[in-house]
Amino acid sequence: MSEEGRHASAISEHDKAVLGRIFNPETPYFDDERGEEGTFATSCNNQCLNENVSIHEEEAKSLEVDAVKEAENGNLSSAIEILGRAIDLAPSRASGYNNRAQALRLKGDTKGAMEDLNMAIDFCSSGNEGICQAHIQRGMLRRLEGDDAGALADFQKASNLGSEFARQMTVMLNPYAAMCNQMLCEVIGKLISGDE
């Protein structure tokens, strides 16, 4: 059995749901805690959804759905290959790059994921879908690599496109907000302890 085949059974239903949310951020999901339909934390407003649909793009979308199924079953190599075909069919469609970046990241190829996110952002700058999600993903990768300034810049751009998650990350990474939070904690600590 291949290495991927052995890991396929290790993916839980929760993991599959997380993958679904990552690969399809604009799709509504069912919020079990609230018992109602919700929206993803990383979803963006309609500025991210402008898309010209062509026959190739429809086929590319279909391939992306197949790739997500492969990823959910733990077949990341197959998912990456299918997403490559989707990108070949519709090279200006940003979601193919976003999805492949996520699959590459899950496989441990951060450099390849970053290259795909850069491509998605370049294509999205002219109004294609996916710029918001690409900035969020790239911001998360930059943060993992210790590039907080780069991550902050990406989260600010995604925040301007309407992502509430990116807004929260912007506040969290803002050095002035962090300094204010630290000072506030010190003042509250002194009040609690009775020091002046």
Mean pLDDT of all residues in 78-82: 95
The model's pLDDT over 87-146, given as tens digits with 9 standing for 90+, comes to: 999 888 888 999 999 999 999 999 999 999 999 988 765 554 578 889 999 999 999 999
Chain centroid to Cα 114, Å, comes to 12
What's the pLDDT band for 50 if we cut at 50, 70, 90? Answer: very low
Residues pairing with 29 in the sheet: 38
CATH topology of domain 3-193: 1.25.40
pTM above 0.85, yes or no: no
More confident residue, 108 or 173: 108
Backbone angles phi, psi at 93, to 5 degrees: -90, 110
Confidence check: pLDDT of 82 > 90: yes
For the chain, domain boundaries: 3-193
Contacts of 115 (CB under 8 A, 6+ apart): none
Chain centroid to Cα 112, Å, comes to 15
What pLDDT, on a 0 to 100 scale, did the predictor assign at position 21? Answer: 55
Using the CB atoms, write b or e for 121-159: b if 16+ within 10 Å.
bebbeeebbbbbbbbbbbbbbbbeeeebeebbbbbbbbb
* Other CB atoms within 10 A of residue 171 CB: 13
* Other CB atoms within 10 A of residue 30 CB: 10
What pLDDT, on a 0 to 100 scale, did the predictor assign at position 182? Answer: 66
What pLDDT, on a 0 to 100 scale, did the predictor assign at position 150? Answer: 93
Per the CB < 8 A criterion, the answer to whether 132 and 44 are in contact is yes
Of 28-32, 75-79, 142-146, 158-162, where does mean pLDDT reach its minimum?
28-32
More confident residue, 4 or 75: 75
Task: Tell me which residue of 120, 141, 142, 143 sits closest to 132, measured CA to CA.
Answer: 120
- Round to whole Å and give the CA distance between 72 and 129: 23
Q: Which residue has the tokens 């075909």?
A: 85
CA 44, 160, 28: angle at the middle one, nearest 5?
10
